[in-house]
Amino acid sequence: MTKKQLQIGVLALQGDFERHEHQLSLVGAYPVQVRLPSDLDQLDGLIIPGGESTTMNYLVDRYNLRSPLLAFGKARPIWGTCAGMIMLAKNIEDNLSGVEPFGLIDIDIVRNGYGRQVFSFTDKVEATLNGSLAVLDATFIRAPRVTRAGSGVTVLAHYRNSPVLVAQGRVMASSFHSELENDTRVLEYFLKQFVAP
């Protein structure tokens, strides 16, 4: 029996959606750029990429995607990286940006929470994926820091005492970028754990 090819959307309003598309191709999934509400129809899951959450938030409204994305996230698997994590969070601390997060995962975050001077760095992060330890090269680019994770949230990885990879129900969120290299372990975890268990 041949396995059905998974169709995974990548919100393609701005940000680094192309890197996620590349990784999806590497694991044999079919990437779909999402810009219209109807682009969500056939998807098995969705990735909200990194980028700039203030711009993304604005474009979500411009493209009439707010309630379709919220409905999607309540029913189907969704993974947000970096700015995508900000969009999925319950609450943004000291929110002066006007970003209205979807509240799909019970975490609070602070934007740019790993320091403004150091805009970008890569470090090792130890994650527990499918019960085994994975040492990942994680890139933090003005990344959000998780300041609270609710009791229903599973923390899959910490970095400097803060959760950096979290999940609740079918929603996963990561502070760091795992899609910049060809290491697809975090993506494969998302697909196996939440999209096609």
Of 9, 31, 51, 68, the one binding ligand GLN by CB under 6 A: 51
Of 9, 31, 45, 50, the one binding ligand GLN by CB under 6 A: 50
> 106: which residues sit within 8 A by CB, 6+ positions away?
90, 149, 150, 152, 153, 168
Catalytic option among 22, 93, 179, 188: 179
Is 181 an active-site residue? no
Is 177 an active-site residue? yes
Q: Is 82 in the site for ligand GLN (CB under 6 A)?
A: yes
Angle at which helix 66-75 crosses helix 53-62, to 10 degrees, equals 100
Report the alpha-carbon distance of residue 44 to residue 86 in Å, rounded.
22
Stretch that binds ligand GLN, among 5-13, 28-36, 78-86, 162-170 (CB under 6 A): 78-86
Q: Per-residue x/- mask for ligand GLN, residues 136 to 175, rule CB under 6 A?
A: -----xx---------------------------------
Is the CB of residue 140 less than 8 Å from the CB of residue 120? yes
> 12: which residues sit within 8 A by CB, 6+ positions away?
33, 34, 35
Is the CB of residue 184 less than 8 Å from the CB of residue 27? yes
Q: Per-residue x/- mask for ligand GLN, residues 108 to 137, rule CB under 6 A?
A: ---xx-------------------------
Report the alpha-carbon distance of residue 73 to residue 115 in Å, rounded.
30
Query: CA torsion, points 11, 141, 26, 169, in degrees to nearest 10?
Result: -60
For ligand GLN, the closer of residues 32 and 86 by Cβ is 86
Is 82 an active-site residue? yes
Stretch that binds ligand GLN, among 44-52, 127-135, 155-163, 181-189 (CB under 6 A): 44-52
Q: Residues touching ligand GLN: how many (CB under 6 A)?
A: 11
Q: Give me the phi and psi of 92, to 5 degrees please.
A: -105, 120
Residues interacting with ligand GLN, by CB under 6 A?
50-53, 82-83, 86, 111-112, 141-142
Would you name the residues annotated as active-site residues? 82, 177, 179
